[in-house]
Amino acid sequence: MKALSDIRVASLLALALLIGGGLALPDWALFLMTIGLAKALVSLGIVVQMRAGLVSFGQGLFFCIGAYVAGLMANFAGLTDIFVLTGISVMACLAIGGIFGPLLANYRGIFFAMLSLSLSMILYGILSKMNSLGGTDGLNVAAPTFAGYAPEGRALSLSLYLYTSFIVVAIGAILRTGFDSQHGLVSLAVRSNELRVEYLGASVRRTNAINYVISAMLGGIGGVITGLAIGHVDPEYAYWTTSGEFVFVAILAGYLSIPAVFAASIILELVRSFSNLYFPNTWQMVLGVFLLVIILTLPNGLGSLFHRRREGGS
Amino acid sequence: MSTSASTGMPALETRGLMKSFGAVTAAHDITVSVPERAVWSLIGTNGAGKTTFVNMVTGYLHPDQGTILFQGQDITGLGPREVTRAGICRSFQIPQLCSELTVLENVLVALAIADPKPPSFFRKARESAAEDRAMEILKRFRIEEHRGRLMTELSAGVRKLLDIAMSMCGHPKVMLLDEPTSGVAAEEKFPIMDLVMEALAAENVTTLFVEHDMDIVTRYSDRVLAFYDGRIIADDAPDEVLNDPQVQRYVTGTAPAEASS
């Protein structure tokens, strides 16, 4: 009960901070924060899998599916309500994750990483060739509405940011509960010793499949928000460099702390924005040096600054 | 706690188990019938087939031929998870622990998995009832003072005990211990075996343990299987087996030197 109330208090504080900060932020920063938080959800999906020892290099698959489903629903079915679009995209990712999850859960290490990457690259190839979906140019997406409210300009940016903040806090709380749950602890055990877990009577495959499906849904939510915030979706969402960025954030954050994933994602967006501004052709180098410093100084990621695995912690 | 009355049926039975790795025959016609609540030891030199036998019974290896019966049910070909769920658990020569988890968390994992329902995403792993149960298990094996430690900070003896304690969380009916005292300091061997055997006896667990220390074999087992070259060469009470000339020659190395002709 104490842990549950701790999560509630932390969630309320985080929400207050995000809302307060959002109201004070200028437009450009509001957009950057929305994108940073949305993409953090996608990276959080990788972190869910990292806790059981797997790293997906194809998280762009669900990011792209989420974004395209929302875009297509908005453009062709006239659905613009963000709640409905999020729900449909999550269901689509749940269905596709449910198909591929049990299949990929048979693989480990580089095989899992490369298979997940190949799925996202297949989607990239299909979307690039489908002229009816805009081919490599992609699609413009209509501005979302919020349960009948149709804001424009700054109000739209702020509404999207607030929606993202609510989603981020809710998912953060749910995942914290999940990380501290029986399934969460078994995932950590799988990461440490699969043989032991099987000899205790649990299915490593089932654990990994569940984590894959959770990660698929998170990828979808991140894709919907990003697509709607940018107002455009294209096959690049499924491209390997996009998936690589999500892995970058996951490694930067580590698997120990949920807030660290959001911090790492926002840091990446800031570094990208400012590097683009001041070092337009070398921003990847800046990013690389940054990651190198983090790996050398904090091998378990930014999260290890606040959270160490010891008695009482998980 | 397992308190079921004896069925009269062997707890574990193997019939004609065969296993080869290329040209090497690791198990040749292994036929045993272990009654309920028995404590048997498996002896033999390295490569004699003891661990192959344990691995076949617990589903890590599938026999090339033969049948494994658990309480009369054919479990041949099942994997480790199904065998464990059926009621056969094991410990390992090199303890298989979750290195990134604390001692307490290792036991909590074992308890969460032992629950008949699959580990839930919405049920807290560290709820007070589970923690109390985990502490009870740690106390039974007298390792509760290590509850907050990671594996790298534990002695070999504590690791062995934790490995066995985790296997006990599933309330097994048959337990196979693979060299429970190997790598443990000499003065710790008997206290460890006392603790383990007491815990197993309290739950009426049929036990088979692989062991190289003949003092432990004679003290704790009521029957001994001696393995040599993938075969069982003796199967009797400890004193009988240890006095068997073949066992003395091929297993214990205590046979008197042959007079030169």
- Report pLDDT digits (tens) over A125-183: 999 999 989 899 999 999 999 999 999 999 999 999 999 999 999 999 999 999 999 99
Residue B5 Cα, gap to closest chain A Cα (Å): 24
How does the average pLDDT of chain A come out, rounded?
91
Nearest Cα residue in chain B from A198: B81
**Res A220: pLDDT:** 97
B43: tokens are 């002896």
- Residue ranges for chain B with pLDDT beneath 50: 1-4, 259-261
Residue B155: half-sphere exposure toward Cβ, Cα within 13 Å: 11
Pick from A185, A310, A312: CB nearest B125? A185
What's the CA gap between A54 and A111, in Å, rounded?
A: 10
CATH topology of domain B12-252: Rossmann fold (3.40.50)
B229: tokens are 């070259």
**What is residue A25's DSSP assignment?**
S
What's the CA gap between B196 and A282, in Å, rounded?
A: 62
What's the CA gap between B52 and A246, in Å, rounded?
A: 44
A226: tokens are 């990003």
Which residue did the predictor score with more confidence, A7 or A13? A13
Query: What length is written for chain A?
Result: 314
Contacts of B42 (CB under 8 A, 6+ apart): B50, B53, B54, B208, B209, B210, B211, B224, B225, B227
- A295 — pLDDT class (breaks 50, 70, 90): confident
**Res B184: pLDDT:** 86
Name the one residue in this structure whose structure tokens are 């900060």: A21
**Res A2: pLDDT:** 62
DSSP helix/strand/coil, B13: strand
What residues in chain A have their Cβ under 8 A from chain B's Cβ atoms? 3, 177-178, 180-186, 188-189, 191-193, 195-203, 206-207, 210, 309-312, 314
Q: Does residue A3 have a pLDDT over 90?
A: no
**Cβ contacts (< 8 Å) between B90 and chain A: which residues?**
199
**Res B19: pLDDT:** 95
B179: tokens are 């060299």
**Which of A2-16, A159-173, A271-285 shows the lowest mean pLDDT across its residues?**
A271-285
**Res A1: pLDDT:** 55
Best CA proximity match to B213, nearest among B250, B255, B242? B242
Burial class (CB in 10 A: 0-12, 13-18, 19+), A135: middle
| Domains in chain B: boundaries | 12-252
Residue B187: half-sphere exposure toward Cβ, Cα within 13 Å: 0
**What is residue B76's DSSP assignment?**
T
What's the CA gap between A69 and A71, in Å, rounded?
A: 5
**Does residue A147 come out as left (phi exceeding 0), alpha (psi in the -120 to 50 range) or beta?**
left
A97: tokens are 């994750």
Is B115 at the interface with chain A, CB within 8 A?
A: yes
**Res B257: pLDDT:** 61
B100: tokens are 């990134």
Angle between helices A283-297 and A240-253 (to 10 degrees): 30
Q: Give percent above pLDDT 70 in chain B.
A: 95
B103: tokens are 């001692």
- A52 — pLDDT class (breaks 50, 70, 90): very high
Q: Does residue A314 have a pLDDT over 90?
A: no
Answer whether A223's CB lies under 8 Å from A67's CB: yes
Answer whether A21's CB lies under 8 Å from A161's CB: no
Q: Give percent above pLDDT 70 in chain A.
A: 96
C-alpha dihedral, A111 to A115 to A118 to A119, nearest 10°? -170
Pick from B122, B123, B166: CB nearest A200? B166
Q: Does residue A311 have a pLDDT over 50?
A: no
